[in-house]
Structure formats: structure tokens, C-alpha cells
Amino acid sequence: MKNQLMKMLDERKEEMIQIRRHLHENPELSFKEEKTAQYIIDFYKGKDVDIQTNVGNGYGIIVTIKGGKPGKTIGLRADFDALPIHEEADVPFKSKNEGVMHACGHDGHTAYLLILADCLIQLKAELSGTYKIIHQHAEEVPPGGAKSIVESGLLDDLDAVYGIHLFPTNPAGDVGYRSGYAMAGRTYFKLTIQGVGGHGSSPHLANDAIVAGAYFVTAVQTVISRRLNPFDMGVITIGSFDGKGQFNVIKDSIEIEGDVRYMTAETQELIDKEVHRIVKGIEAEFGVTCELEYVPDYPPLYNDPEITAGVVKAVENSKEPEIKKIVEFQPFSGSEDFAYYAAKFPACFFYIGSKPKGVEKAYFNHHPKWDIDEDALLVAAKAVAEVVCSIGE
């Protein structure tokens, strides 16, 4: 079956590219991907599969392919939402939706998986087990789509789940992996500090919220430098300090927004505890009132070591010329809501090099000039096909 599957994928490489370009031209934001979802649904019409639509908290789709031979139940996931970015890439299939762009490769994820799934449907009589193709909405915006799809219960019978991501750090042909904790978890916070306003000439009659906020910005960095084990990964970023006012007016209230990253649940708990402790200290020290909104959204992504070892073995043993090598990646401090699948099921989320040809340093994901080497689509399809075939052995 593997030889036949790989041949089918070779023959449909151009179709993958055309699907990717269609999706790239017609991007839709998270939770608003109605036309994209319909395009995916239409692709499967008339095919011998079960289709479940509007899964989770949006336009999620699960396509179930029942093989002709007994075996495991496996999930394959691709996301399909875009970003609120004005495209600057010089490509003939540039976004037609002003201010919206596929700048993270989700168009490519969907394109490869549609073609791979269709090939598996055609070969289902020889296929061992059941495959659930997860076309997921809203990866980019918390709470994301993955958590709600997991909570739907429609995947409860999975034995394992796999996903890939295009990354321009490596050329097409490189397949990257990371066993264990691979991508960071993320928390959003907003701190509102309420003091007492007044005139700049009479600070003793006021209670300056800006001064209290400035102390918070400084103090919160000590969580990373003085509370966290130096061998653990953690980042606290203050992304917004909204204290604008008049030069001679003492502000009565300000808002601070930030982002927290961590690689383990233990680190997450430590930072959470320390940030809350500092907020209480600011209230006590400055006599202000604080309101803290602290929302963990995506957990750290954990790749099951045994499942990941299986992926590495399958890709290493590949005889396909498009797959050049497999590379161990360092952990990424970015976040991915695939982590919700990996938190419930044995999982592996791995990486497909997509650096454009002739480029020394490519624009990274979420950049308005993001682009890929479209040869990476076939690499993705064949790498996942190798995994599928290895599971059935």
C-alpha cells in the first residue's frame, strides 16, 4: 500500500499547491472561517466517509475514514484559520481579503491533509484501522478550536494523534522533531491599578497609579530571575502599559497587559503564584486597588516519547527522495493549541522545513512577507504518510 500511496501523492502534488494557493487568496480569521470550512466540506462530498461539521466552538470538521483491516484509531490534524495581517509577500496568489493573511502556513497544512486524506479514502480497503481527519478552526485566537473539539468527545476513541507545522527555519526536505516538552504554554494577563488622581504639584494629595504600575513591571521580572530555576524556561512580557494622560496630571488608574510563557505545568504554577503575590504586595505597599485578569490559554505541548520515536523511525526509513533528513529541534517558546490533543492522547507534533529557495534567512511565521517553498507540501504529505504506513505494519 505504501508504494501506491506515495505514487498517488506524487501525482497530486500540483493539486496540493493549487489548493494551498486558493486558500491563501481567501483567508478568514479565527472563528470566522465559514467559507473555508465549506470549501473543505465540499472537497469530501460524494466520498465514502463520515463527516461531522461545526464541531466544537466553531467550524471544526472531523472526517472519519474506516479502513478495511482492523487496527488503531488515529487522528491527523490540520488547522485552517488565518491572521489579521496585511500581506506584503510578492506572490501572484496574494490575499484578496484586506488585512487578513495566511502568514503561518495553515493554508499549506490544510492542502496537504486534504490530498493525503483523499488518497487514504481511495486505499481504505487496504488501510488498517480508522483515521479521523481533524480540520480545525481557530488555532490562532484563544480559547482556540482544539480544546472544544477534544471536549466534544468525538475523539475519545483515539489511540494517538499527529500534527505538523510548516517552519521556514529549515529547507524543504528537512523534517524536525522534539520529544517531550516541545512548545511553550501561554497565559494572558491584564492588571488594572486604581489609585487617586490629582495635580502634579501636589503628589501628597493623590495616589499615583503609574508609580505603582512601574514597580509592578520591575518586580514581575524578578519572578524569572529570582524565583525560577535557571534551568527552566519562563518569560514574562509586558506588552502594553496604558497610562497616557497629561504631563502635569497624576493618573488615577492604568492598565497593564502581558504575556507569560513556560515549558512545563510546574513552571506555569510557580509563575502564576508569584504574579498574584506581587499584585497583593503592590496593593499593600502603595495603597492602591488592583484587579488582575489572569487567563492561561494554551498549555505546554508535550510530545509522547514513544510516539515521537515512532515518527523518527518512520521518517528515517523513508526512501522518498523529497525527504532529505530528520533533524532534532530545540524547544519552541511559541504556543500551539495542538497541546490540548497532546494533553489527552499520546501525540506527536512535528515540523516540516519550508524555507523558500534561494533565501538565506526567511521571514518567520506571522510576518507580513511570510512565504514558503511549496515543495514542502509534498514533504509534509509523504512524512505523515510514512507515519500512517508504519502504524499499520
Residues belonging to the active site: 81, 139
User: What cell numbers appear for 5 in the block?
Assistant: 500511496
Closest CA to 163 of 335, 355, 389, 347: 347
Residue 68 DSSP code: S
Q: Give residues with Cβ within 8 angstroms of 42, minimum separation 6.
A: none
Q: From residue 54, give the alpha-carbon distance in Å to each of 33, 37, 140, 339, 342.
A: 11, 9, 18, 21, 22
Q: From residue 309, give the alpha-carbon distance in Å to each of 297, 301, 312, 348, 380.
A: 28, 16, 5, 9, 18
User: What cell numbers appear for 34 in the block?
Assistant: 465559514
Q: From residue 386, give the alpha-carbon distance in Å to each of 3, 143, 320.
A: 10, 32, 9
How many residues comprise the chain?
Answer: 393
Q: Would you report the helix, strand and coil content of the chain in percent, each value rounded to 5? A: 35, 30, 35
Q: Where are the alpha helices (DSSP H) in 185-286?
A: 209-222, 265-286
HSE-up of residue 134 (Cα within 13 Å, Cβ side): 30
